[in-house]
Chain A
Amino acid sequence: MGSGTEAEFSAFVQRRWPQLVRLGFVLTGDAGLAEDLAQTALARVYASWSRICRSGDPDAYVRRVMVNANRSRFRKRRVPEQLTGAVPEPPPADQIRGCDDRMALLAALMGLPPRQRSVVMLRFWLDMTETQTAEELGCSVGTVKSQASRALAALRASAGLVEEVSGEQR
């Protein structure tokens, strides 16, 4: 890899790193694992940088690597104490009232099952279409729809988040 290409990759890493770690955090629930996941994905991208650049969408590639790597990790890894900051279920709103709203939303998000979390992230944070999300996650559009619907219902069920999620006025 030439120095020009390396500089290009380095700039890509600098630009995308925060977003990738945040995506990794939502996927894994752990900041350390999130960084590992982002590093793994970027290292794979680096290994094929020229080809990926030619394909024209390194962002999509790196995201897909992260989602797949996490799926693989989650399927097979069974650890008695999960190394995760994930909330298995969102705490009721009265329990988180008084916390920072962003913290509450993050806690509720982390309380979603991993697949729903992935769908929410891709659909609503990365603003992908249902079709794109389905392609990224390797599932059907119907699955994306149902998972998104369940995720939103779960987020709404956190009463403190009703206003935030639905945009309804009190």
Chain B
Amino acid sequence: MSSAEEQELGQQIGGALTLIKPGPPPTAGIMRRGRGIRRRRRVAGAVAVVAAVAVGIPGLLHAVAHIGQSPGPSARPLTVSRLGPVARDGVIGSGTIGGKPWVVRLAGSRDPVAESAGLPVTGRLGTAPVGSAPVTFAGAGTGQERLLAGPVSPAVEYLTMQAAGGPVYKLWPVAWHGHRYVGLVVPRNLAVARFTAYSAHSELAHAIPFPVNGFPLIVSWLFPGAASPPPVSMGVNSSGNSTYRWWDVEAQIGPWGTCLVQTAGAGQVSCRPTRSYPPDAVITVMTDRWRGLHAGITGAAVAYIKLKLRDRKTARLPVIHVGGQGFWALSVLRHPGPVASWTAYDTAGHPVAGGTGPPG
């Protein structure tokens, strides 16, 4: 590629990126975060290694009254229109948000992407949902609106999306090149309590979405007869030699699946379906480089984890068990990380797993 072509490609990319229209910069918030980082650095400077101390299981294990991140202002009113069974010009969804119309359109025949004006394009949707799911949504959005679209199983007649304490929206699949899709745009903070998939005669499955940044995330589907675990929230809080708390990770387990949520700091969320792991499993689910944070899940046999640090000290990392899964979190400052190796032990003190670096 010649330099002229390189330059042209750069210009074309620049042109394409103008489709992304960022809002105004949250300068005050950025400065607040920056001051927080500076404060933490000063504290951290006095602490050579902060290995996590997960504390107080009973006191921190409680029913989730408030799932996910705290809700913001109310969502703008949403309407969803019913379209014909076959997509015209690729349109698979339409409606209004706050009185302003939205349209979801598919582009591509064999394995389309979905697009809606003013929002990024989704990933490729595929032609069928993943596994036994009635629908698999791909998402794309801005801070205020999120496009959800995906292929629907042939068994599904229609879906509903129930807003908490609000209306129930019916989503009718629309055929496009021999496959059926649903698509909609949801406003931020529309608290979605439940998605339900119906056949012509009965309920097929439902999903309790997990709210992430004000938008619903479907982690797993519950089929009739399946146990629906009650919501439980578990804090895995850290403190170091100083008592300055500088990050929190919460495991939120419930009918949506298992989610690790950083309730302070970057607000990361990592979710996966709740499942039985091998007894000796130790898995990293979340990392936050800036806080030196590692958090994860273990199998039922892991009672605690011993960390061997590079300065030859050791630290004991508790594992908190809920519903057959164990949870751990630690923070290690300095680069490269000071954890040389780890060993997981069962309740009898027998090693069951291990490795180098941080666990998982």
Contact = CB atoms under 8 A, between A and B. Distances in A.
Interface in B110-153: 110-113, 115, 119-124, 136-143, 146-147
Interface in A34-67: 34-36, 38-40, 42-49
Nearest to A23: B17
A105 interface: yes
A106 B226 CA distance: 42
A82 B108 CA distance: 21
B136 A68 contact: no
B123 A83 contact: no
B141 A31 contact: yes
A99 to B, nearest CB: 5
Contacts of A22: 17, 20, 22
Interface in B1-21: 1, 4-10, 12-20
Contact of B107 (A43, A99, A102): A99
A84 B213 CA distance: 13
A14 B27 contact: yes
Given A17-B25, A85-B122, A167 B139 contact: no
B107 A96 contact: yes
A26 interface: yes
Contacts of B12: 102, 105, 164-165
A38 B266 CA distance: 12
Interface in A136-170: 152, 164-167
Given A13-B30, A31-B141, A47-B41, A83 B212 contact: yes
B268 interface: yes
Contacts, number: 224
Interface residues of B, number: 79
A134 interface: no
Interface string B248-278: 0000000001000000001111111100000
A150 B359 CA distance: 34
Contact of B271 (A69, A80, A89, A103): A80
B290 interface: yes
A107 B123 CA distance: 8
Interface string B279-294: 0000011111110000
Interface of B: 1, 4-10, 12-20, 22-27, 29-31, 33-38, 41, 107-113, 115, 119-124, 136-143, 146-147, 212-213, 217-220, 257, 266-273, 284-290
25 contacts: A10-B31, A17-B22, A21-B20, A22-B17, A22-B20, A32-B146, A40-B290, A43-B37, A69-B290, A73-B268, A73-B287, A76-B285, A80-B271, A81-B218, A84-B123, A89-B124, A91-B124, A99-B107, A102-B16, A103-B107, A106-B16, A110-B120, A110-B123, A124-B6, A167-B4
